[in-house]
Amino acid sequence: MKAAVLEGAGEPLLIKEVAKPVLSKGEVLVKVKAAAFNRRDWWIQQGQYAGLKFPIVPGSDCSGVLTETFNGQTHPLLHQEVIINPSINWGSSPHHQGPDFKILGLPDDGCFAEYVKVPAENVFAKPAHLSHEEAAALPLAGLTAYRALFTRGRWEPGQKVFVTGAGGGASSFAMLWAIASGVETWVSSGSDEKIQKAISMGARGGVNYTRKNWHQELKEKAGRFDIIIDNALGASFAELPGLCTMGARIVFFGGTAGNIPETNGRPVFWKQLDILGSTMGSPQDFENMLALLNQKQIKPLIDRTFAFEEAGQAMRQLDNRSKSFGKTVLRLEP
């Protein structure tokens, strides 16, 4: 079969012939129709991700058809359109992943191939209102954002949300989940154009974080927030406690802008704030996310779609995220 393969750190993503996956007990085979990039794939290609191994077929997200089971075992979705939960071996606790947890696409080969094998319990029916490209854009970023907002962030009706970095994959989903749930949602971005796009989709407003006093501007426009979803950390993180109401939650799931900076801890203890890390999500989070998506008929945001043969070019789209709004997708079959 054909697959997009990384031979080493810094190497291009190349289309090659590789062996079709062989199933083990408890696994199923999915014929991939579309796959989506995540920032994780870019970091792997840069050689800056934990547990690197080469060669590797990256890709955590896809949509396709369940074509085969181990030893012909029955499965309710056999020969049907499916998506994959890339959060594998989460473990028994809903509060955190277990010691065997892994994400599809490293250390195991992922979705940038004609076929991918996964545990049988990790396949779910493709939402009927989504195309394969839209469905492929959902799982990893959608799950990460869902858990951050609803499970870790403990959003309740009437509470106000601020999402940093509008336009990024998981941040865009956090915005979509919040808006669809009727949440008063504010955003930040380094692009005025992206802020206007977020507003056109239902966000109440936003600020450009490249401006010196962006946090003061946001406070004047919106007041304070019950939940803040952050995907970058870095210097701006120090301003977030000042934007919080009493008892608010700051949830973060990325660190592309650096580490947590020196921060005034006084508002943290005085306001009784929770600063919470979050990673991926549990099987229950994934099911709850799909229920919300289907109920509200939400469609993931796609920035650009490439043919499978253009996988290397598509990877380069991730070099400059400032120009994108939503996910980069590969189309393997119509």
pLDDT tens digits for range 129-149 = 999 999 999 999 999 999 999
Confidence of residue 86 (pLDDT cuts 50, 70, 90): very high
* More confident position, 122 or 263: 122
pLDDT cut 90: percent of the chain above it: 80
Contacting residues for 66 by C-beta, under 8 A, at least 6 apart: 28, 29, 30, 75, 77, 78, 79, 80, 82, 123
CA distance linking residue 54 with residue 7, whole number of Å: 6
Secondary structure class of 233 (helix, strand, coil): coil
Q: What is the mean pLDDT of the chain?
A: 93
Amino acid 165: pLDDT? 87
Per the CB < 8 A criterion, the answer to whether 296 and 180 are in contact is yes
Residue with tokens 């020969």: 79
* More confident position, 106 or 317: 106
Amino acid 234: pLDDT? 60
Residue with tokens 């406690």: 241
**Which pTM does this prediction carry?**
0.94
- 322 pLDDT higher than 80: no
Q: Residue type for 15, please?
A: I
Amino acid 257: pLDDT? 61
- 152 pLDDT higher than 80: yes
Confidence of residue 167 (pLDDT cuts 50, 70, 90): confident
Q: Residue type for 216, please?
A: Q
Amino acid 203: pLDDT? 96
> Of 230, 291, 285, nearest to 259 (Cα)?
230
Query: How confident is the model over 193-243, as pLDDT tens digits?
Result: 999 999 999 999 999 998 989 999 999 999 999 999 998 766 678 889 999
Token reading at 216:
């003061």
- 1 pLDDT higher than 80: yes
Q: Average of pLDDT values for 15-19?
A: 96
